[in-house]
Amino acid sequence: KTLQTAVLNTYFSDKGLQYNMARLPIGACDFSLKHYTYDDTKDDVNLTHFSIDHDKDQIIPFIKQAIQTRQSWTKETFDIVASPWSPPAWMKKLDISYCPFSCVDCQLKDKYKPTW
């Protein structure tokens, strides 16, 4: 917790960098501890099984703490830009979660473009 508080203060406090926005990847990114998506159910084009459960224990509480840290010294807004990093494996031509060779190998299947 002490290190986490130090990170929060470094980025979001009035004595730190005073960040007023953050980028939140939708699903795993290069900095994630493991690969995950919000919907690993094959062919779920309606995203019926979309879930943020993965984020409930650590990511969402950290975001809330960042907002609280910022709001402790200012009433200015804190913006979050959520953007996808990579589609689930079932949406990709090679059916793999990551691109081992190049991004060309992991192209989105045409039939999933509307869903993505």
Average pLDDT, whole number, for the chain?
92
Of 57, 62, 53, 68, residue with least CA distance to 1 = 62
Of 77, 62, 56, residue with least CA distance to 5 = 62
The rounded Cα 42 to chain-centroid distance in angstroms is 20
The 10s digit of each residue's pLDDT in 28-72 is: 888 888 889 999 999 999 999 999 999 999 999 999 999 999 999
| pLDDT category of residue 105 using cuts at 50, 70 and 90 | low
How many Cα atoms sit within 13 Å of 97 on the Cβ side? Answer: 13
Place of tokens 């795993």: 28
pLDDT for 95 equals 85
| pLDDT category of residue 74 using cuts at 50, 70 and 90 | very high
**Percentage of the chain surpassing pLDDT 70?**
96
Please state the pTM of the whole predicted model.
0.84
pLDDT for 30 equals 82
CA distances from 22 to 25, 27, 29, 64, 85 (A): 10, 15, 15, 12, 15
Query: 23 has which bridge partners?
Result: 81
pLDDT for 51 equals 97
